[in-house]
Amino acid sequence: MTSDVSHQVSRQTNFLATYFSSINWNQIISKAVTLLLSLVLLSLFFILVNWIGKRIIYRSFKTTRKNEHLTVNRINTIYTLSLNIFHYSVLFFYFYAILSVLGIPVGTLIAGAGIMSVALGLGAQGFVTDVVTGFFILLEQQFDVGDNVKIGQIEGTIHAIGLRTTQIIGYDGTLHYVPNRNITIVSNLSRNDMRALIDIYFDPTEDIKAMSLIIKKVNERLTPHFPDITKKPTLLGTVDNGSGVLSLRVIIYTKNGAQYEIQRTFLAAYLEELTKAGFKINSSPINLTTT
């Protein structure tokens, strides 16, 4: 019994030794080194192509920025989209070359109807929808890079527009990636001037004419120092905010993004001058709306 087991083990050992000795290790190592070297050289080639291509695009748009017929935001939008398209193109040809080096019949896979059906089922339809939606966003110029927008529950500045996604930097610094197919309603806050409404609440017993005169003098003094004011401040007069609460309302039109600094400066000046004149001023909210 023991001799039979030993004989069987000996036969298995001889088989393995014969099998491994019959393998052409030099050929396998040579092919592995050749394949590894091909992949490394191929990767370096596409890294070089990617770097050169991005440099060419950058230099082209650097020259285009001097064209006065195009806005900076529009140029930045086309620039980021061009980089996005170039990036996807390089990746496609890179993976195609890698699969070809590995001996995988890429053409046969792409041409196979079954593979195409699987690709559509796994999300190609969503990808096509993203691309088509992104195309119409650009065609209709719904927004450009640098615009302040509100898309759904996300509000911030457009950072980049790609084939599949739009990147938005929120006002808290968060970078949001929004698939283009999810963009249904866009509120662009950068296409029109901003309207700042400043309500200055006061006691009904105060001299309204004297207060109005002080506010007008503040407007005349500060307006020349703010070139971002597109329409001179207008004192609308006394406004009843309900429940007997009265306020003097001032409206100021500014370029987008400048309204916050201007409203803070003007409000502080109003309060300072009115307080110096002995008027009793109550705390009041400030309304900022777009028009």
Q: Same domain for 84 and 121?
A: no
Q: Same domain for 12 and 99?
A: yes
Question: Does residue 172 lie in a domain region?
Answer: yes
Q: Which of 140, 165, 191 is the last residue of a domain?
A: 191
> Cα-flanking dihedrals φ and ψ of residue 156, to 5°?
175, -155
Question: Does residue 244 lie in a domain region?
Answer: yes
Question: Does residue 282 lie in a domain region?
Answer: no
How many structural domains is the chain composed of? 3
Question: Does residue 288 lie in a domain region?
Answer: no
Question: Does the predicted model carry a pTM greater than 0.75?
Answer: no
Q: Same domain for 16 and 37?
A: yes
Question: Does residue 216 lie in a domain region?
Answer: yes
| Mean pLDDT over each residue of the chain, to the nearest integer | 77
Question: Does residue 42 lie in a domain region?
Answer: yes
Select from 229, 151, 160 the least CA-distant residue to 188: 151
Q: Same domain for 141 and 178?
A: yes
Q: Same domain for 65 and 127?
A: no
CB 74 within 8 A of CB 144: yes
Distance CA 180, CA 190 (A): 20
For the stretch 160-212, pLDDT in tens is 887 788 899 988 889 999 988 888 888 887 777 788 888 888 887 888 889 99
Single-letter residue type at 42: L
Question: Does residue 205 lie in a domain region?
Answer: yes
- Domain limits at 88? 6-104
pLDDT in tens, the chain (291 residues): 555 555 555 555 665 566 556 666 677 777 778 888 888 888 888 888 888 888 887 777 776 655 544 556 667 777 777 787 788 788 888 888 887 777 776 666 555 545 555 555 555 667 777 777 877 787 777 888 888 888 888 888 888 887 788 899 988 889 999 988 888 888 887 777 788 888 888 887 888 889 999 999 999 999 998 888 888 888 888 888 766 678 888 998 887 777 888 888 998 899 888 888 888 877 554 444 444
